Amino acid sequence: MQDAQIGQFFIRVGLDVPLPGLFDYRSAQNVEVGQRVIVPFGRRQLVGLVVAVGEHPAVPIEQIRDVVMVLDDLPPLPDSWLRMMRFAAGYYQRPLGEVMMPAFPPPLRKAAAYTGKRAAGGPVARLARRKRNTVGTTPAAFHSADSASSPELNADQRAAVDKILALQGHGVILLRGVTGSGKTEVYLHAAREVLSQGKQVLFLVPEINLTPQLESALRQRFSAGCSTVELAVLHSGLSDGERLEAWLSAFSGKARVLLGTRMAVTVPMPELGMIIVDEEHDASYKQQDGLRYSARDLAVWRGHDEGVPVVLGSATPSLESWNHALQGRYHEVVLNRRARDVALPVVRLVDTRRLRLEQGFSPQILEAMNERLQQGEQVLVFINRRGYAPVLSCTSCGWVSQCSRCTAYTVLHRGRTGAPRLQCHHCGGYVQVPRACPECGDQDLKPMGRGTQRIEEFLADRFPEARIARIDADSTRLKGSAERLFAQVHSGEVDILVGTQMVAKGHDFANLGLVAVLNADSMLFAHDFRAPERLFAQLMQVAGRAGRHKEGGVVMLQTDYPDQPVYRALQKHDYPGFARYALDERRSLGLPPFAYQALLMAEGRELVQAIEFLHTARNLPELNPAAYTTREHVMLYDPVPLRVVRVANVERAQLLVESPSRPALQRFLAQWSADLFALGREGRVRYSLEVDPFEI
Ligand SMILES: [Zn+2]
Ligand SMILES: [Zn+2]
């Protein structure tokens, strides 16, 4: 410990610890706001970020400890970045340190990376050394702007690019384009213009699976010419070292384009000139644990704060974004034509109410499949259920297979090798298939319903000549297997593709003539109010796979409810029609985007604990009414168990909070989350508070 003397000052630091507030330390060395420091915390040493310097400490001076090390291997994080972090912490009700620190690549937030025995120089210096030694072997740079390599835009695309580039400073463009309308071309042309002005582009995509395609599109597009433009790619599939490299490259300004999944939205970029959010409606932009932020919403906030345009692209915008466009807050730009000038596929509804189905297939669909295969075209069978059958059942007593740890059925899976097993899709647990019914001993156990594996098996039997591939979370578990399967489809080695939603996104199958949709109805009556919106988006996406390269593409959808507005709108490829219907319904029920929500979730060993916690939480405002100035504008619903109440022996319940006013809700939550923190310390219940929950 050093004595207090001139030249020492107090700093306030954010740390990644589950405690509210910031922490005061003393430093003998000059420190700036935005710099990282290593500080003692309890018995540990942690990397933290300095958010204030020279302020009067909030605790008695004798309790303040000294900084262990000031890290100066990075320039201080800019004000704009700190503003974004403060906003996210405030809006999503989390401690600032818990928001800031996880935004760094892991090597930059581990104290041991600087203080450990083998730490010589820290991760930034080590990376630089390694790069020097391998210079020239990794061609990360691509070349900029060669007009010869970019295709001509059609009039719609041209108009869209012009509208984006006409924005002075911040504005949000909602780019709505039917599948195959060439949204990517619009992004690339707009990005090129922004790059030529010496600025950086942040390009967000919902899934890792979509990065290789876009990465190669970007590299190809800018591969000829003379000046080089660097591209960095960032997603959760990278090693810590790769993440560090991409992050540093964007932060230093070396990378001019950062392509990444939701985590990329927080990367500091000194010369940010535009943000693109592709498939802006996609649920993957919402983080589901820790800081439950929406990368799309944060991108819009960031664009506004830094004064740069934001392009939100989708064939089926979220109703929130669409409503912003209707209100004039976003500029809507429409791409109505497919870029290849191929008509959109015809959508036929197959009314299954009076049909005899063969393994879930109507005669019409089997007939159409046969025809397409005869013509040498590919067929996609879409069924959003993996495994062999959703449940195994006893024909004599009615026993059904259930998970012992969850309130859920177990799904029958047939491995390529090994015995079939019953797998739980909630906790991941599995057991071998019993030889006989555990209840009555009967050996006649039958699979009920169908998943992708059973469909694959049936089709192999029905179309013995056809080459069949199945793409779902099971068949793509191994690294590289998804790419390999998709490559087989693209090269024509596959006649029938059976797949879940994994096949719906982004892929452009040139020879696909027919899309058959089997169990859409199962998603129609889900409890979540966003279910129809999600179903419509998913069906539009999967329908868009058909006939992208030549006329005559057909989508056949089996349903018991052919008059449902979702299907009617799908038949006409009518997003605005669907959105009008869905928004009317939301308005009349007072749901988002006409109300703002937060969800308090509690987990305990017993349901009664979780429910009790939520009841207490619900009553907190009554105990201290003066602190809850906006209480009257906020509605707190009754605590309810989740639909799947028990997962891995943990019982779960939730409480919904709603308000017609976002500021009123925010003020309420600020007080409530502080009180919840105190409440949470007492009991054995884990809780989480989610603002703008995606699923309820
Ligand atoms: Zn039985
Ligand atoms: Zn389970």
Q: Is the pLDDT of residue 544 over 90?
A: no
- Closest ligand by atom to 650 CA: 2
Ligand 1: centre distance to CA 430 (Å) = 20
Q: Give CA angle at 654 (653, 660), nearest 5°.
A: 170
Ligand 2: centre distance to CA 685 (Å) = 20
Ligand 2: centre distance to CA 286 (Å) = 24
For residue 2, the model assigns a pLDDT of 42
Residue corresponding to tokens 């109300």: 595
Cα-based distances in Å from 39 to 47, 57, 440: 6, 16, 63
Q: Do 313 and 188 touch, CB atoms closer than 8 A?
A: no
- Closest ligand by atom to 436 CA: 1
Exposure on the CB side of residue 535, measured as CA atoms within 13 A: 26
Q: Is the pLDDT of residue 1 over 60?
A: no
Ligand 1: centre distance to CA 398 (Å) = 6
For residue 135, the model assigns a pLDDT of 53
pLDDT tens column, 465-496: 999 999 999 998 888 888 889 889 989 999 99
Q: Is the pLDDT of residue 146 over 60?
A: no
Is 81 strand, coil or helix? helix
Q: Is the pLDDT of residue 143 over 90?
A: no
pLDDT tens column, 202-252: 999 998 877 887 888 888 887 645 456 789 999 998 999 999 999 999 999
> Residue 461 is encoded by which pair of tokens?
């039997």
- Closest ligand by atom to 407 CA: 2
Q: How many other CB atoms are found less than 10 A from the CB of residue 130?
A: 12
pLDDT confidence band for 139 (50 / 70 / 90): very low
Peptide bond into 317 cis (omega under 30): no
How confident is the model over 509-533, as a mean pLDDT? 89
Ligand 1: centre distance to CA 434 (Å) = 11
> Residue 213 is encoded by which pair of tokens?
């395609």
How confident is the model over 112-130, as a mean pLDDT? 84
- Domains defined along the chain, listed by start: 9-133 (3.40.1440.60), 141-335 (3.40.50.300), 346-389+449-586 (3.40.50.300), 596-691 (3.30.70.260)
**Residue 556 falls in which region: left (phi positive, over 0), alpha (psi -120 to 50) or beta:** beta
For residue 149, the model assigns a pLDDT of 56
Ligand 2: centre distance to CA 647 (Å) = 6
Ligand 2: centre distance to CA 409 (Å) = 8
pLDDT confidence band for 550 (50 / 70 / 90): confident
The gap from C-alpha 659 to its chain's centroid, in whole angstroms, comes to 25
For residue 134, the model assigns a pLDDT of 67
Say how far apart CA 627 and CA 621 lie, in whole Å.
Answer: 8
Say how far apart CA 381 and CA 495 lie, in whole Å.
Answer: 11
Q: Do 222 and 145 touch, CB atoms closer than 8 A?
A: yes
For residue 144, the model assigns a pLDDT of 43
Exposure on the CB side of residue 95, measured as CA atoms within 13 A: 18
Percent of the chain with pLDDT over 70: 95
E strand spans, 205-248: 228-234
Ligand 2: centre distance to CA 424 (Å) = 5
How confident is the model over 159-163, as a mean pLDDT? 95
Q: Is the pLDDT of residue 40 over 70?
A: yes
Ligand 1: centre distance to CA 443 (Å) = 8
Is 174 strand, coil or helix? strand
pLDDT tens column, 676-696: 999 988 778 999 999 999 888
pLDDT confidence band for 6 (50 / 70 / 90): low
Say how far apart CA 390 and CA 448 lie, in whole Å.
Answer: 7
User: HEC string of 176-209?
Assistant: EECCCCCHHHHHHHHHHHHHHCCCEEEEECCCHH
Ligand 1: centre distance to CA 277 (Å) = 52
Say how far apart CA 267 and CA 244 lie, in whole Å.
Answer: 11
Cα-based distances in Å from 455 to 352, 374, 386, 442, 546: 18, 20, 10, 27, 20
Ligand 2: centre distance to CA 646 (Å) = 8
pLDDT tens column, 350-393: 999 999 999 999 999 999 999 999 999 999 999 999 999 999 99
Kindly list the protein residues that place their beta carbon closer than 5 angstroms to ligand 1, a single-atom ion.
394, 397, 399, 437, 439-440, 442
Q: Is the pLDDT of residue 141 over 60?
A: no
pLDDT tens column, 74-97: 999 999 999 999 999 999 999 999
pTM: 0.92
Say how far apart CA 578 and CA 586 lie, in whole Å.
Answer: 12
Q: Is the pLDDT of residue 11 over 60?
A: yes
- Alpha-helical runs (H) found in 31-110: 79-91, 96-100
DSSP 365-417: HHHHHHHHHHTT-EEEEE-S--SSBSEEEETTT--B-B-SSSSSBPEEE--SS
Q: How many other CB atoms are found less than 10 A from the CB of residue 353?
A: 8
Q: Do 348 and 190 touch, CB atoms closer than 8 A?
A: no
Amino acid making up residue 583: L
Ligand 2: centre distance to CA 418 (Å) = 21
In 3-state terms the chain splits into helix, strand, coil percentages (rounded to 5) of 35, 25, 40
Report the candidate in 176, 200, 360 with the shortest Cα–Cα distance to residue 267: 200
| Residue bearing the bigger pLDDT, 168 or 277 | 277
Cα-based distances in Å from 132 to 121, 128, 177: 15, 6, 44
Ligand 1: centre distance to CA 436 (Å) = 8
Per the DSSP assignment, residues forming a β-bridge with 143 are 228
The chain-wide mean pLDDT, for the chain, equals 91
Amino acid making up residue 119: A
pLDDT tens column, 291-345: 999 999 999 999 999 999 999 999 999 999 999 999 999 999 999 877 777 778 8
Ligand 2: centre distance to CA 391 (Å) = 13
- Alpha-helical runs (H) found in 375-520: 452-462, 481-490
How confident is the model over 275-281, as a mean pLDDT? 97
Beta strands 391-394 and 512-517: pairing type?
A: unpaired
